[in-house]
Structures are given as structure tokens and as C-alpha cells.
Amino acid sequence: MSRGYNVAVVGATGAVGIAMIETLEKRNFPVKKLRLFASERSVGKKLPFKGRQIPVELLTVDVFQGIDFALFSAGAARSKEFAPAAVNAGAVVIDNSSAFRMEPDVPLVVPEVNPEDAKKHKGIIANPNCSTAIMLVAVYPLHKVNPVRRIVVSTYQAASGAGAKAMAELEEQTARLLRGDKDVHAEALPQPIAFNLFPHVDAFLDNGYTKEEMKFVNESRKIMHYPTLKISATCVRVPVYRAHSEAVNIEFERPMKPDEARAILSKAPGVKVVDDPANKKYPMPIDASGQYDCLVGRIRQDCSRDDDRGIELFVSGDQLLKGAALNAVQIAELLI
């Protein structure tokens, strides 16, 4: 029987923080005491956990004494400021921000891909970008059988990826436009999102890609221990409330048939194959929302090649769960 653990959720009132609390409860993580931290404006709010109402406390550097696991989802700046204090107090930090992902001595972990890396931590383990995690759950099982040479991915990213304010913005703008009010302004997102989409997720870089697109490249290489993996990504924000989708083109070392890919993925952890187009069954964000598994379908041969080394597939995964909260809790489970 495992002992109980004292767990802190930092950024508890955000969309991911709330999902972390729900995931700890649903997966019956052995929590002895749960403490919730956020900024001043959230102090005193209460959030439910196992039939109790847990008050939100002010995040300061001296709150981590006695904490075993600190799950951070409060943005990179706060992680950089407060994570070292948590580590110094003896906690293992599992951080959902981009603050530590590319630090050489910080493991970047997707439990279905590189669980062994979690054990090499020095106090901090990083959660990857949500889109990277969702893609790798689908790609890595195939890579283990037939090495991947190149990936081209286009994403359809939900408002949830930009946080609770972006989700509220989608709702509010949609209601306004349906009422005939054309006066919609983007605040949480760079453009109006209702009845729109735009190829702009995160800041643009000098190479013409966005930071989000380059996260696919750099994070996938680190997680898969594959520094020469070729990846090109185009990330698009779409007017979907929750769950990201991705169209993934994969080039393998050797030929791979769709039936073989389907058979591999049907046994892969964290994957649910939904691939019956004749009966209108394929991955959709509306079905992936709230699910732990990533849905994978539209598995087919790349018809632009004549060597059968290309596979196309479509994946939908809940950005708040596999892309964030679930992945963090799974990492904590690896360590107990």
C-alpha cells in the first residue's frame, strides 16, 4: 500500500490547474494533503476535491515545506521564480510551462514515450507542449517498429490551448456575432476566433515559423532522443472550444502499410483508434474532449509517394488532459 503524498497545484484556478485537481481525484492519486496556490486575486476561492472545498492560498517562495509533488501551471515566468524554491524545500516539480523544457538537465517526459527519463530528474521534470505530446502518443509506437525519418504536421488548435480567457473569448464572440453584433475584439488571442481561424499560435521567429511550431521540432527530438529528426509544422488556431487536432504525414525508413500502422496503434498506450470513414467514424475534438486517450484515424497511404514509406493520419487529443494535466499526473505516478 503506497503512502499518501502532499501535493501542491500552482496556478490552481486556471483551466489546466482545475483539470489537474480533477485528474488527481479521478485517477485516485494517493493525496494525503492537497494545497492550492495562485496569485493574489484568486486567494480565498475554494475548489472541490474529494467532496471537500480546498481554499486557494497565495503563492510565495516559502509555501512548499512538506510538499512531495508540486504541479505547476502558472506560466513560464512564475515557474522560473517559484520552482527552485519548491525543489529546495524537497518537492519534485512537474512543470507545464516552457520554462525548463529545453534545459539539458531537465527531463522532458511523455510517459507513453520516455518514462525512464523521469527517474533522471534533479528536482524538476518538464511537461511538453500540448501539441507535441498529442502527436508523439500517435507517432512513437510506429517509430519503435519502423524508424521515422520525417514528419510534416498541420494543427487545428482549440481555444483551450490559450487558456480560460481564450475559451471565454470564443464563447462571447460567437454569441455576439449570432446576435448580429459585428463589434468583436480579440484580447486573449491575436485575432477574433469566432467563425475564423488563423495560422498564428505563439510568437513569430526569424525563420518564419512560430515558437509553437518550433516546439514540435525541438521537443520531439529531445523526448524521442532523436536529434536529427526532420519535422515541419504549421500551427493553426480554430474556433473549437477544447481538444487539439493534427493532420500528420509521416515518412518511415521502410515501407509501412495502413493495416500495419492500424494494428500497431490499436495496441499502443494512450491511443484509441477511431478509423471507420465509411461509417463516418474518425477523430474529432468534440469526441476527444474529456478523454484520456488520443483518438487516431484516417490512417492511409501517402498517395504522393511511390515507395509506400509514407503514412497519413489524423489525431485529436484533449489539450487540457493529455496535453497538460493528465500528462503531469502520469509523470507523478511514474515516480511513486
Q: Where does residue 299 fall: left (phi above 0), alpha (psi -120 to 50 degrees), or beta otherwise?
A: beta
Q: Is the pLDDT of residue 3 over 90?
A: no
State mean pLDDT over 263-288.
Answer: 98
Q: What is the pLDDT of residue 84?
A: 97
Nearest to 268 by CA among 136, 154, 107: 136
Nearest to 75 by CA among 144, 150, 165: 165
Q: Are 100 and 79 in contact (CB under 8 A)?
A: yes
Strands 69-72 and 92-95: parallel
Query: Considering only the top CATH level, what class is 5-127+324-335?
Result: alpha beta
Q: What is the dihedral of CA 273, 274, 276, 277, to 10 degrees?
A: -130
Q: What is the pLDDT of residue 98?
A: 95
List active site positions. 130, 244
Q: In what order do the strands lie in the sheet with 244-252?
A: 230-237, 148-157, 244-252, 310-317, 294-301, 271-273
Give Cα 128 distance to the centre of its chain. 7
State mean pLDDT over 113-134.
Answer: 97
The partner residues of 274 in beta bridges, in order of sequence, read none
Average pLDDT, whole number, for the chain? Answer: 96
Report the distance separating Cα 100 and Cα 125, nearest Å: 8
Report the distance separating Cα 9 and Cα 22, nearest Å: 11
Q: What is the pLDDT of residue 1?
A: 40
Read off the amino acid at residue 97.
Answer: S
Report the distance separating Cα 247 and Cα 237, nearest Å: 14
Report pLDDT digits (tens) over 176-215. Answer: 999 999 989 999 999 999 999 999 999 999 999 999 999 9
What is the location of CATH 3.40.50.720 in the chain?
5-127+324-335
Report pLDDT digits (tens) over 52-107. Answer: 999 999 999 999 999 999 999 999 999 999 999 999 999 999 999 999 999 999 99
21-29: Cβ within 8 A, 24+ apart: 21/47, 21/48, 21/49, 21/54, 22/325, 23/321, 23/325, 23/326, 23/328, 23/329, 24/49, 24/329, 25/49, 25/50, 27/329, 27/333, 29/5, 29/329, 29/332, 29/333
Nearest to 30 by CA among 65, 9, 5, 52: 5
Report the distance separating Cα 83 and Cα 86, nearest Å: 5
Q: Is the pLDDT of residue 2 over 60?
A: no
Indicate yes or no: pTM above 0.85: yes
Non-local (6+) Cβ contacts of 302 within 8 A are 249, 251, 310, 311, 312
> What 3-state DSSP class applies to 11?
coil
Report pLDDT digits (tens) over 14-56. Answer: 989 999 999 999 999 999 999 999 999 999 999 999 999 999 9
- Rg of the chain (C-alpha set): 20
Report the distance separating Cα 299 and Cα 313, nearest Å: 5
What is the location of CATH 3.30.360.10 in the chain?
132-318
Q: What is the pLDDT of residue 111?
A: 98
The partner residues of 235 in beta bridges, in order of sequence, read 155
How far is CA 151 from each of CA 102, 276, 319, rounded to the nearest angstrom?
20, 24, 20
Angle at 177 between CA 172 and CA 183, to 5 degrees: 85
Report the distance separating Cα 129 and Cα 133, nearest Å: 6
Q: Are 94 and 118 in contact (CB under 8 A)?
A: no
Q: Is the pLDDT of residue 163 over 90?
A: no
Report the distance separating Cα 153 and Cα 168, nearest Å: 27
| 132-318 carries CATH number 3.30.360.10 | yes
State mean pLDDT over 290-314.
Answer: 97
